[in-house]
Each structure stands twice: as C-alpha cells, then as structure tokens.
Amino acid sequence: MLIAGFPAGAWGTNCYVAATGPGTECVIVDPGQDAASGIAEVVREHRLKPVAVLLTHGHIDHMFSVTPVSGTYDATAWIHPADRHLLADPMAGISPESARMLLGGDHTFTEPDNVVELADGQTLELAGLSFVVDHTPGHTEGSVAFRTPWTVNEDISEVMFAGDLLFAGSIGRTDLPGGDHATMLRTLRDKVLPLADDIVVLPGHGEQTSIGRERATNPFLQDL
C-alpha cells in the first residue's frame, strides 16, 4: 500500500494520495489550496491514475482545489451532504482570518462535475482500496473520517484520514459556522474512543499520531 502526503497552501493542510501501489489507480484526500502541483508530482512519480477525491469536510483549506483536481483527472468527488453547500459557497464556513487571506484574489468556486454524497457507516470500494466512512460532526456538520485497512505490517490495523477531527495533542476547532463543541465531544466519545489503539491517524494538519497515543496523552480525550 502506498500513502503519500504533503502540506499544501497557506493553511498547511495535509493532502494525501492513497493507492495499493505504484502504477495503479489512486484516491486523493483533501486537495487544499495549491495542492494540484503536489498531487501531479506524486501521480507522476508513482505512475498513478486518480479516480476519486475524498473530502473530510467542506472548509476551504481542505477543498480549495477539488474542482480543478477532479476535472483534471475526471475523478469523482465525495462529500457528506451536510457540507456539500460549501463546495460552491466556501465563504459560508470561513473564519475572518481566512477571509483576510483571500482578500485581493479572484476566486470562483463551483461544484465538480461529478459529486457523490457520503453516508455514515458506508463502505467505499475505490482504486482497489476499502474505506469505511465515519460521520464525525463537531468541527463542521458534515465532517467525516475515512478508515482503510493497513496491510503492510501487523502492528497497524487501519489508517484513519481524520481531517480536522483529531490532531496530535488536540482536536478540531468548533468556533466556525457549523461547528459545535458539545457535538464534537460526543463524536470523540462515540466514534474515536471505541477505536483500536494501533490505528494510525493522518490528520488534516500537523504530524501523524495514533489512537493509542491520543487516548493516553490528548487532554480532550482524557477528559471524556
């Protein structure tokens, strides 16, 4: 299995490319601002063919490049219905700080040609990979995480693309439109704490971590 990740844009949002191996189809997770060139480099290096773009949520720093990337590779975009409106109107979920970063730019946002809505508990079979969709509201109403089996070694059972649900030592902010702290805490209790310790967490920002590490050290999880 192959997973390549890199921080993209002014927000340093982690974009990931996942495939069964070189020379195969692949899935892109969260193509944020200026992610297209990084994606193209990974695709060229590993001779990949993108077939799907998975969005953990609709915030602009995670979906900035979804339409051009989906169009370039004729790839289907997947998003939870509660965040779908942000594809065409990302300012509805933006913070004043983010708005200032975009002032002076000429940005027009539209939905990709092919958008499919996600559902909690759904299993996606894409590019030879299997992803379980967990609806994880709190950061946004339509936030999701994607879990896929890790077959490289026995020490890791799954990899979780967590978006802005869970970070190393922290959790996603809940003060933006669509965010709710009480909902986030319920999501962490009901969707994160039951997971196995060996699951690797690939967050939307910052370094990777694991469920076990966060269970033991993350103050937001310990308080639960």
Predicted confidence band at 54 (pLDDT cuts at 50, 70, 90)? very high
**Chain segment 162-180, per-residue pLDDT in tens:** 999 999 999 999 999 899 9
Helix H, strand E, coil C: the string for the chain is CEEEEEEECCCCEEEEEEECCCCCEEEEECCCCCHHHHHHHHHHHHCCEEEEEECCCCCHHHHCCHHHHHHHHCCEEEECHHHCHHHHCHHHHCCHHHHHHHCCCCCCCCCCCCEEECCCCCEEEECCEEEEEEECCCCCCCCEEEEEECCCCCCCCEEEEEECCEECCEECCCCCCCCCHHHHHHHHHHHHCCCCCCCEEEECCCCCEEHHHHHHHCHHHHCC
Q: How many domains does the chain have?
A: 1
The 10s digit of each residue's pLDDT in 73-118 is 999 999 999 999 999 888 776 766 666 666 455 667 889 999 999 9
Q: What is the span of the domain harbouring residue 201?
A: 2-222
Q: What is the CATH number of the domain that holds 36?
A: 3.60.15.10
pTM: 0.93
